Amino acid sequence: MTAGVGRFAAELRPLSASSTGGKTSETLALIDWAIQTHPDLLMPSAFNLNGVVLIDLAVRAGYRGQVVFVDTGYHFPETLQTRDRLAARYSELEFVTLNAGASAQDGRTPPELYAANPDACCAARKVAPLQEYLRRKNPSALLNARSRDQAATRAKIPSVEEGSSRIKINPLAQWTRQELEAYAAEHDLPVNPLYADGFLSVGCWPCTRAVRPGEDARAGRWAGQGKTECGLWAGDGKL
Ligand code: SF4
């Protein structure tokens, strides 16, 4: 087990669904532990609802590190605007954009590879740039915003996840979407405006649609393509 994980390696005690305040306190305590134990901590982010809430909580807990975003060249303008609004609001953080200025026409992957082979497209445009960056920075831990209720495939995410080269700390693992929405509203957070149009999880525009009533939050990602993850958090090349 990675040194220092002990206190949080087991699940945090069950949190009251009716008490976002109590859940916030537990989450701040976990992030504080992460900062103290892993001063080289990094936070990758795609600036979805979860990510925006995590950024706010992390700043409250004292995080002053990097927020790393991968520009695949296929992001919605609203996502890039959300990044810029967050960077302006949280000036104590360093927002890093990998592949800054990437475009769908940059020749890095064949046109419409996303349709023919989305795994290859994600691997080249999203996973590889972040893996390369992490190889150089070599942080001992990552702060990640995934939560269990985003999708059935995420239903067992632990608060602290062991990895071969670094641990992943998932402070929002036990937050529900309703709690995240309530927190964002209470703190007037700059949520991606596409969220209000049903894009509960926003990825690249060729691979994201609005979610229909009754679907889970990530049902609009690669819909109908038999793919549920980009490869950053699951699969052979996961972080
Ligand atoms: S989400 Fe779609 S467009 Fe974006 S990198 Fe993956 S396959 Fe390519």
Ligand 1 lined by 114 (C-beta under 6 Å): yes
Q: What is the CA radius of gyration of the chain?
A: 17
Q: Which of 75, 106, 207, 209 to mutate to test the pocket of ligand 1 (most atoms within 8 A of CB)?
A: 207
Cα 133 to Cα 128: distance, rounded to the nearest angstrom: 8
Distance CA 145, CA 47 (A): 9
Residue appearing with tokens 């296929």: 74
Per-residue model confidence (pLDDT) at position 41:
97
As a whole number of angstroms, the distance between CA 104 and CA 98 comes to: 15
Q: How confident is the model at residue 236 (pLDDT cuts 50, 70, 90)?
A: low
Ligand 1: does its nearest atom lie under 6 Å from the Cβ of 75? no
Q: How far is the CA of 199 from the centre of ligand 1 (A)?
A: 16
Q: Which CATH class is domain 17-207?
A: alpha beta
Contacts of 209 by beta carbon, 8 Å cutoff, 6+ apart: 199, 220, 223
Segment 42-57 shows an average pLDDT of 98
- The CB of 129 under 6 Å from ligand 1? The reply is no
- Count of positions (residues) in the chain: 239
- Is 74 part of any known ligand binding site? no
pLDDT at 8 over 60: no
Question: What are the residue ranges spanned by the domains of the chain?
Answer: 17-207
From 75, 113, 204, the mutation candidate for ligand 1 (largest count of ligand atoms within 8 A of CB) is: 204
Residue 113 burial by Cβ neighbours in a 10 Å radius (0-12, 13-18, 19+):
middle
Q: Which atom of ligand 1 is nearest to the CA of 119?
A: 7
Sequential DSSP letters for 145-189: ---GGG-GGGTT--SEE--SS-EEE-TTTT--HHHHHHHHHHTT-
Q: What is the pLDDT of residue 164?
A: 77
Q: Is the pTM for the entire model greater than 0.85? A: yes
Mean pLDDT of 106-122: 94
Tell whether ligand 1 has an atom less than 6 A from the beta carbon of residue 122. Answer: yes
**pLDDT tens for each residue of 160-205:** 998 878 999 999 999 999 999 999 999 999 999 999 999 999 999 9
pLDDT surpasses 80 at 106: yes
